[in-house]
Structure 1
Amino acid sequence: MLEELPITQKQFAQATGIPEAHLSGLKKGNSRFTPEHDLRITRYLKQSEGFWLRLQLRADLRKAKAGKSFDRNKIKPIDDKLLTV
């Protein structure tokens, strides 16, 4: 999405106060969006706060689901009777 803007990465970095190297890492997926980055970018692009963090979270969940670190099916959900008060 950032590639579609009619400004350079350097201009975007200057406007948002985010280092150009970090922006490059964000585009490549090597860096993560932080709440501060989200606030800076959403302010500049006139978007709702949290937009970029939600994108980051969705990507993280997709990656976790595709990973092999654990088998979710081995986790038995809690009995509903234990949840009612």
Structure 2
Amino acid sequence: MAKKSKIVKEMKRQKLVAEYADRRRALKAEGDYMALQKLPRDSSPTRQKNRCAVSGRPRGYLSKFQVSRIIFRELALKGQIPGITKSSW
């Protein structure tokens, strides 16, 4: 489980990105890079980090399912992810 502070910080970043998205798009279209630099750093979408929706783990993230590899395996073995079965040959 990730630290609560890291999870909260990432959620704050997501809100900032959504809040400044239109303003950022307009400034880029105008080519006004000086005004773009004055926006908060965390409002840039490239500063976001993918995190597991269940545990908050930043590594081993599977974007299709939005969970980490560990949680994915647990859910798949319990049969809670439709269409996923353990392979055997």
Q: Normalising TM by the smaller chain, what interval?
A: under 0.3
TM-score w.r.t. the length of structure 1 is: 0.28
Specify which structure has the bigger relative contact order, considering alpha-carbon pairs within 8 angstroms and separated by 6 or more residues.
Answer: 2
TM-score by length of 2: 0.27
Give the structure with the larger strand fraction. Answer: 2
